[in-house]
Amino acid sequence: SGGYDAHAVQTKWQDRWAKADPFRAGDDTDTRPRKYVLAMFPYPSGDLHMGHAENYLYSDIVARSWRHRGYNVLNPIGWDSFGLPAENAAIQRGANPVTWTYENIAQQRESLKDYGVSFDWSRVLHTSDPEYYRWNQWLFQKLYERGLAYRKESPVNWCPNDQTVLANEQVVDGHCERCGAEVVKKKLTQWYFRITDYADRLLDDLNQLEGFWPQKVIQMQRNWIGRSVGADIDFEIEGREGAVTVFSTRPDTLHGATFFVVAPDSDLAAELAAGSSADVQARFKKYLEGVQRESEIERQSTDRPKTGVFLERYAINPVNGERLPVWAADYVLADYGHGAVMAVPAHDQRDLDFARAFDLPVKVVVDTTAPITGAIPVIEVDDDGVPIDPGAGDGSLDDLDPARTGIALTGEGRMINSGSLDGLSKRNAIARVIEQLEAAGKGHASKSFRLRDWLISRQRYWGTPIPMLHGDDGTIIPVPDEQLPVLLPSVEGLDLKPKGTSPLGGATEWVNTTDPATGAPMHRDHDTMDTFVDSSWYFLRYLSPKDAGEAFSSREADKWGPVDFYIGGVEHAILHLLYARFITKALFDMGLVDFTEPFSSLINQGMVILGGSKMSKSKGNLVLFQEELDAHGADALRVALAFAGPVEDDKDWDDVSTTGATKFLARALRVAHDVTSDPDVVWKDGDPALRRVTHRLLADAPALVEQTKFNVVVARLMELVNATRKTIDTGAGPADPAVREAAEVVAMVLDLFAPHTAEEMWEVLGYEPFVGLVTWRQADPMLLVEESVTAVVQIDGKVRATLEVPARIDGPALEALARSDARVLKSLGDREIVRAIVRPPKVVSFSTR
Ligand code: ANZ
């Protein structure tokens, strides 16, 4: 529209960028302060979609704004090109995953170039390149050296559809995160990364991120790590050598334990049952079979009837020698705490439900009716945030007997029936009992985490081979560093169809190898690594992506790290971010980076939806990125998306107006064409009203971008273009210096959103490229002073007061000022205002009758 050929402008500037490469990060000779901007890298599993359009737009806006503010900016891009999405797509299409992956990368790369993103294209990486995954293998071995990579047999989450194991993080409500199949448990020997060693630090360091990461993400990570503080307590079991440990958050209630429960699927349960009668063994076996079919969610659900088997064994309470019957019951989980609990039915609802179901004794040891003075009161609240009355004052303790009411007493109170603990508050009783247990060598203070170690073995082809060798005698040795990378064998002749063991196992020649030291026959580990290993450190590889000698340069990491601005979808709130945080801390401990958190600030962009619902292929309502680019051009698409609403909000495609954006861009470009003055005009001779609008934008743009209020910046640009148009058409005219000044500032700020149009404007205005590299001007403080005007206040037609008010004041603000003015109040006296006519900024007229 209006002589604005979006595609011609776009092609012209993309060619010039390709030739001049202006967005390369500066090297060591660049003395400007550095900023590292990063958008989560894409999977090449298909075309880019509108979520990508948002992601790479927002990071580009920030990168461009920092260049305009005098920073040396690193804004890299790469591909997360290993993994299930690519492999499954390849299987479905019968294609070679290698060809398929790299074809997709090429196509996505074209789209991003077309989109005018100011990436440093010299640093592109693909995690499926041997040059990259070689360093995954290095990382694996570094972790192995430090005891942070280890193998163990345990029940793992198994996706029967993808025929591979899943990390806990990849199981969503009992289903495979990727394909939705119901996940089952399977016992396998697999490689793990010991992320639990870092649980405390991963939790505590979240405090540093407060205010810089979305609160929701911080909370999700806190919950995922799930720290509980309490004690480990040792119980002897009659007829068994060695004590059994339980974890309890309420060691103060130890005297109230009346039975003991072990997870049916634990080794301990199997052992205890085996030492019992044939009848018990049979019942236990049957029970266990049922339990193994249950999901973790089902097992933890509080509203199912409690089930279990009495093992006819007894545990001994370490503080009072009482015999506690041992049960196997599914509400106790094998892989939390120690897989066994002391059951205190009076004070734990799950234990109480179980006790009532099987008629076990209930012993109250906390008098929740007793006032607790001196102790710090802990107010417990229910799910609705309503404080739970601990019972104080309403009747006697007998009225609250859990055995009868079915309600466990979980509130604060004073200890009773607990020997030397009697009379103590919860806090003090916990401290005291831990002292006693420690003195007796029967326990100690302890913590438990919900976080599990990170299971990284995958039985799939398209991933990094685990660089370890196995001997027939069970020895395991790392592949020597000089023999890395262990290259993926060619896919020719391998069966990629999921079948429960890794396809690499079928590459016989590849699998069979020798011990590099002794020449003894060995076979390669034929699992591949979880792709979250690839993405746990890629932000470091961008700093020296071609370096063949090391994974990343510590020197470059000191210079650029941590990432200043990271953006991506909220779907990565747990997995990716937690793993990247863990690996960063591990690398810090190895002395390889000098920071402990990888991403100083984080933003989650909202989703692009359509007609109020999520876009999807199956609904047939997918808006395709490349199609939109082809139809409207990059700049219109970028402006329309940036203008559609706040970054974090979902945006409905129906509200995204590329037509409006195109009109605005044509208008902006026309303003540049209309300027008749030369670049050497004297700004201060220009029309002050227009200059004020220009300088307000200069003053506000940096902070607005920092706050990611991109839509507001677009609105302000529109305002400035309109004001300039008005000055040209009906004001001081196109030769006024303020018109040129405004057009130049529009080009400089528009570069964030519509870089092709901005460069075109800059050229039309008589400058050399590139406006993308021009430092924004300082706002003139004199032009930021608010203009003021005199407003009159009339009461019943007579002027009673005058007010100095900002020229831009709105009606409600003006009326409020007038109503609270002392002179107005005085002349009103007892009279009441019945009507107000407000005409900002100059007149307020009150009537009192
Ligand atoms: C005795 C007790 C008394 C407990 C009481 C609670 C209240 P969180 O807060 O989730 O960490 N527990 C320990 N290991 C378990 C397992 N493997 N499966 C199921 N439950 C387990 O929960 C810790 C509490 O959950 C522990 O404290 C233990 O019960 C139980 F009035 O010990 B408690």
pLDDT score for 623: 86
Probe target for ligand 1 pocket from 234, 244, 246, 248, with the most ligand atoms within 8 Å of CB: 248
Sort residue 163 into left (φ over 0), alpha (ψ -120 to 50) or beta: left
- Long-range CB pairs of 178-183 (<8 Å, 24+ gap) are 178/84, 178/85, 178/88, 179/88, 182/295, 183/157, 183/158, 183/159, 183/295
As a whole number of angstroms, the distance between CA 79 and CA 137 comes to 18
pLDDT score, position 170: 80
Q: Where are the beta strands (DSSP E) in 431-475?
A: 443-449, 454-455, 457-458, 468-470
Q: How far is the CA of 182 from the centre of ligand 1 (A)?
A: 27
Which protein residue has the closest C-alpha to ligand 1 atom 14? 337
Which SS3 state, helix, strand or coil, does residue 184 take?
strand
DSSP string, 583-638: HHHHHHHTTS-S-S-SBS-EEE---EEETTEE--TTTT-PPBHHHHHHHH-HHHHH
**Residue 95 pLDDT grade (very low, low, confident, very high; cuts 50, 70, 90):** confident
Tokens 């196109």, residue located: 734
Give bridge partners of residue 790 from the DSSP assignment.
804
Q: How many Cα atoms sit within 13 Å of 140 on the Cβ side?
A: 33
Mean pLDDT computed over 339-353: 97
Ligand 1 centre to CA of 418 (Å) is 19
Average pLDDT, the chain: 93
User: Angle 134-136-142 (CA atoms, 0-180°, nearest 5)?
Assistant: 105
Q: Which tokens belong to 628?
A: 């939109």
Taking residues 265-273, what's their average pLDDT?
Answer: 96
- Report the candidate in 74, 68, 113 with the shortest Cα–Cα distance to residue 762: 68
pLDDT at 313 over 80: yes
Residue 294 has pLDDT above 90, yes or no: no
Backbone angles phi, psi at 652, to 5 degrees: -85, 125
pLDDT at 392: 46
Other beta carbons within 10 Å of 476: 12
Confidence of residue 1 (pLDDT cuts 50, 70, 90): very low
> 173 falls in which pLDDT band (50, 70, 90)?
confident
Q: What is the pLDDT of residues 317-329, one digit of tens each?
A: 999 999 999 999 9
State the DSSP code for 453. -
* 227 ligand 1 Cβ < 6 A: no
Distance 249 CA to ligand 1 centre (A): 6
**C-alpha distances in angstroms, 590 versus 187, 537, 587, 595?**
33, 14, 5, 12
Q: Which of 222, 247, 266, 351 to mutate to test the pocket of ligand 1 (most atoms within 8 A of CB)?
A: 247
Best CA proximity match to 348, nearest among 410, 260, 425, 256: 410
- Relative to the CA of 230, which ligand 1 atom is closest? 27
Smallest CA-to-CA distance from 555 within 34, 32, 123 is with 34
Residue 91: pLDDT band (50, 70, 90) is confident
| 294-311 average pLDDT score | 86
* CA 236–ligand 1 middle distance (angstroms): 19
Q: What is the pLDDT of residues 482-524, one digit of tens each?
A: 999 999 998 888 888 777 778 899 999 999 999 999 999 999 9
- Which residues are CB-contacts of 548 (< 8 A; sequence separation ≥ 6)? 131
Q: Contact 156/185 with Cβ under 8 angstroms?
A: yes
How remote is the CA of residue 351 from the centroid of ligand 1, in Å? 9
Per-residue DSSP letter, 397: G
Tens-place pLDDT, residues 4-24: 899 999 999 999 999 999 999
Cα 296 to ligand 1 centroid, rounded to whole Å: 16
- Compute how many other C-beta atoms are within 10 angstroms of the C-beta atom of residue 701: 24
Q: How confident is the model at residue 620 (pLDDT cuts 50, 70, 90)?
A: confident
Residue nearest to atom 20 of ligand 1 (CA): 332
Q: What's the pLDDT at 2?
A: 52
Q: Which of 137-146, 391-400, 505-514, 812-821 has the lowest mean pLDDT?
A: 391-400
- DSSP assignment string, 311-371: EEEEEE-TTT--EEEEEE-TTS-TTSTTSEEEE-TTT-HHHHHHHHHHT------EETTS-
Nearest alpha carbon to residue 653 among 663, 664, 661, 641? 641
Ligand 1 atom, smallest distance to 408 CA = 31
pLDDT of 94 over the 90 cut: no
Q: Looking at ligand 1, which atom is closest to the CA of residue 249?
A: 27
Which pLDDT belongs to residue 393? Answer: 43
Q: Within 10 A of 320 (CB to CB), how many other CB atoms are there?
A: 12
The mean pLDDT of 418-436, rounded to a whole number, is 96
Instruction: Give the ligand 1 atom nearest the CA of 334.
Output: 17
The answer to whether the beta carbons of residues 574 and 565 sit under 8 Å apart is no
Tell me if 300 CB under 6 Å of ligand 1. Answer: no
Higher pLDDT, 161 or 718: 718
Q: Do 99 and 52 contact (CB within 8 A), yes or no?
A: no
The per-residue pLDDT for 491 is 86
726 near 671, Cβ under 8 Å?
A: no
Gap from CA of 232 to ligand 1 centroid (Å): 11
Q: Residue 435: pLDDT band by 50, 70, 90 thresholds?
A: very high
CA dist 56 and 36 (Å) reads 14
> What is residue 494's predicted lDDT score, i.e. its pLDDT?
85
- Which ipTM did the prediction report? 0.97
Residues 6+ apart with CB under 8 A from 85: 43, 45, 178
pLDDT by residue (tens digit) across 33-87? 999 999 999 999 878 889 999 999 999 999 999 999 999 999 999 999 998 877 8
pLDDT of residue 280 exceeding 90, the answer is yes
Amino acid 388: pLDDT: 59
Percent of the chain with pLDDT strictly greater than 70: 97
| Binding-site annotation: residue ranges for ATP | 617
CB 640 within 8 A of CB 658: yes
Cα–Cα distance, 97 to 272 (Å, whole number): 50
Do the Cβ atoms of 690 and 738 come closer than 8 Å?
Answer: yes
Cα 630–chain centre separation:
32
- pLDDT of residue 387 exceeding 60, the answer is no
Distance in angstroms between the alpha carbons of the first and the last residue of the chain: 56
Question: Can you tell me the mean pLDDT for 92-116?
Answer: 92
Q: Whose CA is nearest to atom 18 of ligand 1?
A: 332
Q: From the CB of 67, is ligand 1 less than 6 Å away?
A: no
CA–chain centroid gap for 242, Å, is: 44
Single pTM value for the model: 0.88
pLDDT in tens, 764-823: 999 999 999 999 999 999 999 877 899 999 999 999 999 999 888 999 999 999 999 999
| Ligand 1 site, residue 248, Cβ cutoff 6 A | yes
Q: Return the pLDDT at 373.
A: 58
Q: Is the CB of 333 under 6 A from ligand 1?
A: yes
The residue whose CA is least distant from atom 10 of ligand 1 is 228
Measured in angstroms, how far is the CA atom of residue 247 from the centroid of ligand 1? 7
Q: Taking residues 295-315, what's their average pLDDT?
A: 88
